[in-house]
Amino acid sequence: MTKRVAFPDGRQVPALGQGSWHLGQGRRPHEIEERAMRTGIDLGLTLIDTAEMYGNGLSESHIGRAIAGRRDEVFLVSKVLPMNASRAGILKACDASLRRLGTDRLDLYLLHWQDGRTRLPEVVGTFEDLVSAGKIRAWGVSNFDVDDMEDLWRVPGGDRCAANQVLYNLGSRGIEFALAPWCAAHGVAVMAYTPMGSGRLSRDAVLARIARAHGCTAPAVALAALIRRGNVVAIPEAGDPEHVAANARALALGLTDDDLRAIDAAFPPPDRKHPLDIL
């Protein structure tokens, strides 16, 4: 059965989506990367993550082409840079993202990270106005640790944050100690970025051994381990249609207790709070 995650507004998304940081920027012919993304949508990876930062908008334009005619099938996520996170800057950045994506609304809009100048009340107020205007359906944050989330919760309306996108893969399990439980307790979906360890986990021998028993590949095991708890959406990026298909197997992959013990032995979970890893 396909694993799904519920957002606070009741919408459900697949627990596996598609990232796009390096897409649309010439690493491969456009047609191949567009085919990869459409293959993913066909296989149920309908949440697509992007950001104005990725290739200075080239990733959003790439997605606009890949989803042309299929907008209603996908859940689109984009992000605003902290340098644009004033009221005027967010409104302008959002319009530019919508234009590049060829759509009139985002399903989720995130603050990419915060810096020393970020005024959270202004960000929250502007995001809420974008919701009222129908330009975004929900909003969230990225690279926020527990302290940052608590600051956000003290801002009026801050508890309407739907998701926190953070670095999470088997080689970087720090969020399991405090942040992931905090998000679960407050109804915030966790979005796991760099879930394949930038591709490194696809070559892991322990994961490959577990995968053989399930008739899949190491990447599917790496991803299934992240999304097993119910409030995590992993967003692997793959520009190769075969990689996308391999990853999609994670959506319905049930790992056994023995599998999870072997994974914990190879990739130990955290035993104390670490500072949030940021890519």
Ligand X SMILES: NC(=O)c1ccc[n+]([C@@H]2O[C@H](COP(=O)([O-])OP(=O)(O)OC[C@H]3O[C@@H](n4cnc5c(N)ncnc54)[C@H](OP(=O)(O)O)[C@@H]3O)[C@@H](O)[C@H]2O)c1
Which parts of this chain interact with ligand X (CB under 6 A)? 19-21, 49, 112, 142-143, 165, 193-199, 202, 219, 235-240, 243, 246-247, 279
**Nearest distance from C-beta of residue 62 to ligand X, angstroms:** 12
Task: Cite the beta strand spans of 73-127 per DSSP E.
Answer: 75-80, 108-111
Q: Which is nearer to ligand X, 52 or 237 (CB)?
A: 237
For the chain, how far is it from start to end, CA to CA, in angstroms?
Answer: 32
Query: Which residue of this chain has its Cβ atom nearest to ligand X in the complex?
Result: 19
- Provide the Cα torsion 214, 217, 223, 228; round to 10°: 0
**Nearest distance from C-beta of residue 132 to ligand X, angstroms:** 25
Q: Which is nearer to ligand X, 88 or 244 (CB)?
A: 244
Q: Which is nearer to ligand X, 56 or 156 (CB)?
A: 56
Q: Is the dihedral of CA 34, 193, 4, 106 positive or negative?
A: negative
Q: Which is nearer to ligand X, 21 or 182 (CB)?
A: 21
The C-alpha atoms of residue 240 and residue 186 are separated, in whole angstroms, by: 36
Summarize the chain as % helix, strand, coil (round to 5): 45, 15, 40
Q: Is the dihedral of CA 8, 10, 16, 18 positive or negative?
A: negative
**Nearest distance from C-beta of residue 85 to ligand X, angstroms:** 14
Q: Which is nearer to ligand X, 209 or 271 (CB)?
A: 209
Q: Which is nearer to ligand X, 231 or 247 (CB)?
A: 247
The C-alpha atoms of residue 217 and residue 99 are separated, in whole angstroms, by: 37
The C-alpha atoms of residue 161 and residue 14 are separated, in whole angstroms, by: 19
What letter would DSSP give residue 276? P
**Nearest distance from C-beta of residue 110 to ligand X, angstroms:** 7
**Nearest distance from C-beta of residue 12 to ligand X, angstroms:** 20
Residue 97 tokens read as: 């993202």
**Nearest distance from C-beta of residue 209 to ligand X, angstroms:** 16
Residue 235 tokens read as: 């967003």
